[in-house]
Amino acid sequence: MTATHTHTPAPAPASSGASRMTARRKVLWGLQIFLAVFLFFASALPKFAGEATAVETFDLIGWGQWFRYVTGTVEAAGAVALVVPRLAGLAGIALIGLMAGAALTQILVLEPAWALMPAAYAVVFAAVAWDRRAETRQVWDALRAALRR
């Protein structure tokens, strides 16, 4: 009697491009989570709670305290959307705009040297938006289809 062996092929090695994409995606996920936690807990919540520094900062900006709540809302929504894969690209795009406004505000009204921080965050958000462009396209297509109905 002869034994039959079934041979299952070994999985193909990952291409260097695929492994690079996986590494890039992992790094971006780490940055997204870090920035989402920062935006939600260190930036949005103090604005909602009326923390003294946040109130003072928005007094200096001169647009009124309503703008503190709007900014906090955009930060909180962006933080949540950053960790939802389908929404992360859209969050990145929206947060680039928020960071551009923050950098300009630092340069023109507050402390110019601090403009580097939102500028650096904007670079990360741009990388997220680029990396998630396929998901963003799907969301836009779904919205357009829903609006046509």
Residue 24 pLDDT level (bands cut at 50, 70, 90): confident
Q: What's the confidence (pLDDT) of residue 16? A: 60
Residue 120 CA to residue 79 CA, distance in Å, equals 16
Spell out the domain ranges in the chain. 25-148
Average pLDDT (76-95) is 97
pLDDT digits (tens, 9 = 90+) for 106-149: 999 999 999 999 999 999 999 999 999 999 999 999 999 999 98
Question: Does residue 10 have a pLDDT over 70?
Answer: no
pLDDT of residue 17: 61
- Beta carbons of 102 and 118 less than 8 angstroms apart: yes
- Contact (CB, 8 A) for 19 and 12: no
